[in-house]
Amino acid sequence: LPVVEDAACASGTEILIDGVWERIGKPHGDIACFSFHPRKVISTGDGGMLTTSNSAYDKQFRLLRQHGMSVNDRVRHSAHEVIFEEHSTIGFNYRMTDIQAAVGREQLKRLPEIVAARRRLARQYATLLRDIPGLAVPSEPSWARSNWQSYSVRLPEWCDQRAVMQFMLDHGVATRRGIMCAHREAPYHELARGRSLPESERAQDQTIILPLFPQLSESDQEYIAAMLREACAY
């Protein structure tokens, strides 16, 4: 059974397997899919990458991303003899631009530093938020080292999510809902009719994502925590 890993958010995340820490996307399945959307740990503006240890998949992916062309532009343009490319299959224009790739390669060099900063900020959030009544902060299992792409908290039962988010925004802190449930969106209403997913719905209604990025200062993080504490007090 082919296994495709949804590793969209997992750049730099590690998992403990048989006593050894390994990066997500080794891959442990057949293919791992990463995202470079601006919200992710590494960004090229948009787009993403695939990793695979299967040489046949690799060859096919490289064909598909560039119109099914047998020879890529870099090889043709640097050649000292004329090369005629062929299109052996129907492909797509999924190429990343050279500028995007250059930005991504430089960020990959800094990935350990970026992840370390995010992990430090996540630990600091846990300390700053731990005594807010009714607030649940995320935890990390012993077998994982998260990159903390997002820091999502579950609000106290008595808090109105929209009111908390508006209070934060009024005080200069942008937040987002922790998740969105597909079955609540218009295209899926008919398919979801009569179905109840209470835990997913509870997560959508009660979780928010707090700002977290490597350049977040200690004073700004303390301010965010103070504003959340005040918002949850109402």
What single-letter amino acid sits at 75? V
- Residue 192 sits in a domain whose CATH number is 3.90.1150.10
- Residue 73 sits in a domain whose CATH number is 3.40.640.10
Instruction: Give which of 200, 158, 151 is closest to 179, Cα–Cα.
Output: 200
* Shared domain check, 81 and 167: no
Is-contact 168 174, C-beta < 8 A? Answer: yes
* Shared domain check, 15 and 105: yes
Is-contact 11 147, C-beta < 8 A? Answer: yes
* Shared domain check, 74 and 41: yes
Q: According to the model, what pLDDT value does residue 77 have?
A: 85
Q: According to the model, what pLDDT value does residue 102 have?
A: 95
pTM flag (> 0.85): yes
Residue 115 lies in a domain: no
Residue spans of the chain under pLDDT 50:
none
The C-alpha atoms of residue 222 and residue 185 are separated, in whole angstroms, by 35
Q: According to the model, what pLDDT value does residue 233 have?
A: 92
Q: According to the model, what pLDDT value does residue 95 have?
A: 86
* Shared domain check, 228 and 140: yes
Q: According to the model, what pLDDT value does residue 83 have?
A: 87
Q: What is the H or E stretch that residue 20 is in? A: strand 20-23
Exposed / middle / buried, residue 210 (Cβ in 10 Å: 0-12, 13-18, 19+): buried
> pLDDT tens digits for 148-175?
999 999 999 999 999 999 999 999 999 9
Q: According to the model, what pLDDT value does residue 10 have?
A: 95
The C-alpha atoms of residue 25 and residue 19 are separated, in whole angstroms, by 18
